Amino acid sequence: MIYDESSADRLKKLRKSFELTQEQMAEKLGISVSLYKGIEAGKLEASRRTADAVQHSFGVSADYIYCGTLRDDTELWNKIYECDDEGKMKIMFRLMNYFAVNKKLTQDDDKIERVVKDMFDEE
């Protein structure tokens, strides 16, 4: 039997990858805790508004939440290429922050983490 991961499973996996509680996830998405728990339990379906909030907060497309498919890398690279310099800088900073926060760094972890933290610390 092939297991088909549901949108509830994908949302739960996303939440856990960011080490968030259900309460913290609901707050980030701007929905009630009971609504979020219902979605994650598979009793309720995530609305388009909730999927948009997931995309905005975590950079995960709605098609991934609903269908489990990620957009093609080529499409993603084309969108990045079409961004102006400010948009590209925002993407870069979000990625750097993601890796610093989630400790998913590689070589010279401490040095990279310090640089990223220094960039976000106000003087």
Chain segment 97-109, per-residue pLDDT in tens? 766 666 655 555 6
Residues 77 and 40 in one domain: no
Do 63 and 114 fall within a single domain?
A: no
pTM of the predicted protein model: 0.53
- Same domain for 53 and 101: no
d(CA 26, CA 33): 5
List the domain range (segments joined by +) for residue 88: 73-120
User: What confidence tens digit (pLDDT) does each residue in 42-64 have?
Assistant: 898 888 888 888 888 888 877 77
**Residue 81 sits in the same domain as residue 107:** yes
> Would 2 be classed as within a structural domain?
no
Number of domains making up the chain: 2
Residues 55 and 21 in one domain: yes
What is the domain-level CATH number for residue 27?
A: 1.10.260.40
Q: Does the residue 50 lie in any domain?
A: yes
From residue 108, alpha-carbon distances to 1, 2, 33, 83 in Å are 43, 40, 38, 30
**Residue 1 forms part of a structural domain:** no
Q: How far apart are alpha carbons 43 and 30 in whole angstroms?
A: 19
The pLDDT of residue 97: 73
